[in-house]
Amino acid sequence: MKEALARVRTGNRRIASLVIAGVLAFNAPAAAQVQLVPVASGLASPLFVTGAHDGTRRLFIVEQAGVIRVMPIGGSGMATFLDIRSKIRSGGEQGLLGLAFHPFYSSNRRFFVYYTRAADGAIVVAEYQASVGNRDAADAAERILLTIPHPTNTNHNGGMLAFGSDGYLYIGVGDGGSANDPPNNAQNKEVLLGKILRLDVDARVGGLEYGIPISNPFFGAIAGRDEIFAYGMRNPWRFSFDRATAKLWVADVGQGAREEVNTPIVNGGNYGWRIYEGTACTNTDRALCTPANYQFPIFDYPHAGGRCSITGGYVYRGTIGSLPTGTYVYGDYCTGEIFTWSGGEQRLLLDTTFSISSFGEDDDGEIYVVDLNGRVSRIADGGGGGTGCQYDVAPIALAPRAGATLTVSVSTTAGCSWTVMSGSEWLSVADDRHSGSGVASVIVASYPGWLTLRVGVLTVAGKRVVILQF
């Protein structure tokens, strides 16, 4: 028995040595370090954050139940910009799902929302205006542009709104729900479900509350709904335009096998669902699995390691170097992982405990992460997005006994902010935001599996700290 225990302990020490060596390599100076800087907390199921592109440096945060909050970037005050909870059916995949500001919002005060209607769950795209006398509040008057019936199921509503460089409003609509898209909505060009739509919100034509761009693929006598720009989508959950190239990046949530990102989005393109899920034929309509007939994702990934639902993000075009320019950032809702796509490779950027409901972009091109559990954070370099901030984190790896409270020391100059984030359920952080040199306290839960090694991860000032417990 003693010999067996000795062998287990020796094996654990060897594993620990390998883990520590890996951490040392990960934290090498050549490796880029990032962290999440807390921006807002205490929110009620936030689903989106964005700037208004009006030069006022504000963030607008969408809460699922039907409230939009507004706050200054770098400030702490928060106001209620719009409250339309009485109009909305909220819960699960329903609620106030999208927000977009008109390209000339600074002068016309117009913005647009996407929600599921209280009475029947139908999808509504509506227009509001900010108040003349108070820029942090919106007028109550609503103009409904578009209503899309969404019967039978409550899931797959889509919800993204964004203006392209062409000045048109793009709208991401889910396939109507259930598994395998039973009505085949995504492939049916006579319905708006399972599509990317494109509208001219500055015109009203033919009794509609919007205009149709004549370059839309099914405009006029061509078979198909005039509003459609692209089709074959399952549940596009967040898309964005690269502000440098104007290219549209669409993340489409998969069913049981693969998650995908599509770019470019071709005018009239068929992106495959329900025939294809990512790059794989679903066998739902196997005879239709002819690759030449479809546009395939630039990349996809399988449901492995707990991954199950993509959350689309943004191509980084910020000016303070939080990430390499041109890097696409996205995440997985189920694992809390944040990934990057650059140079034809998917890479893990951060492993968080967040339920990532969205990413967002401010007026300066900095990228934010929205946690459904009530938080919004900004992705920053190891210096919190500042210049001249360097961090010395010690120790790199710790092996406390079960139930211990450990400390991690950080040395930096005054005014340099840093955060602590736990990537393991059994590690809890007492205070996650700091400035200047200091110590972070981490509570380690008890561990009954004393014969085996347990490995936990913290991200401290953008550097990974591994906690070994055995």
Q: How far apart are CA 230 and CA 224, in angstroms?
A: 11
Residue with tokens 């889910």: 174
187-215 pLDDT, tens digit per residue, is 999 999 999 999 999 999 999 999 999 99
Q: Which residues contact 178 (CB under 8 A, 6 or more apart)?
A: 152, 153, 155, 156
Antiparallel, parallel or unpaired: β 463-469 and 397-398 = parallel
- pTM exceeding the 0.85 threshold for the entire prediction: no
Task: Inform me whether the pLDDT recorded for 411 exceeds 80.
Answer: yes
Mean pLDDT in residue range 431-444: 82
Q: How far apart are CA 443 and CA 238, in angstroms?
A: 35
The b-or-e profile of 406-428 (16+ CB within 10 A means b, else e) is bebebebeeebbbbbbbbbeebe
Least Cα distance to 393 among 24, 19, 2, 13 occurs for: 24
CB 365 within 8 A of CB 379: no
Which segment of 114-118, 172-176, 281-285, 386-390 scores lowest on mean pLDDT? 386-390
Q: What local confidence, expressed as pLDDT, does residue 407 receive?
A: 84
Task: Inform me whether the pLDDT recorded for 423 exceeds 90.
Answer: no
| Domain ranges, ordered by start, for the chain | 2-31+387-469, 34-381
Q: In the CATH hierarchy, which fold is given to the domain comprising 34-381?
A: Neuraminidase (2.120.10)
Q: What local confidence, expressed as pLDDT, does residue 157 receive?
A: 98
What are the beta bridge partners of residue 446? none
Task: Inform me whether the pLDDT recorded for 340 exceeds 90.
Answer: yes
When pLDDT is cut at 50, 70 and 90, the band that residue 6 belongs to is very low
Which segment of 142-146, 303-307, 383-387 scores lowest on mean pLDDT? 383-387
Mean pLDDT in residue range 265-293: 97
Q: How far apart are CA 291 and CA 6, in angstroms?
A: 58
Q: What local confidence, expressed as pLDDT, does residue 453 receive?
A: 67
When pLDDT is cut at 50, 70 and 90, the band that residue 425 belongs to is confident
Task: Inform me whether the pLDDT recorded for 26 exceeds 60.
Answer: no
**Angle (CA) 84 86 89, round 5°:** 95
Instruction: Assign domain 2-31+387-469 to its CATH architecture.
Output: Sandwich (2.60)
Of residues 2 and 416, the one with the higher pLDDT is 416
What are the beta bridge partners of residue 198? 170
Q: How far apart are CA 283 and CA 408, in angstroms?
A: 52
Which segment of 107-111, 136-140, 280-284, 379-383 scores lowest on mean pLDDT? 379-383
Mean pLDDT over the full length of the chain = 88
Which stretches within 137-269 are classed as H helix? none
Q: What local confidence, expressed as pLDDT, does residue 142 receive?
A: 98
Q: What local confidence, expressed as pLDDT, does residue 319 receive?
A: 87
Least Cα distance to 100 among 160, 45, 174 occurs for: 160
Provide the phi-psi class of 52: left if phi over 0, else alpha when psi is between -120 and 50, else beta: alpha
Of residues 413 and 9, the one with the higher pLDDT is 413
347-386 pLDDT, tens digit per residue, is 999 999 999 999 999 999 999 999 999 999 999 987 544 4
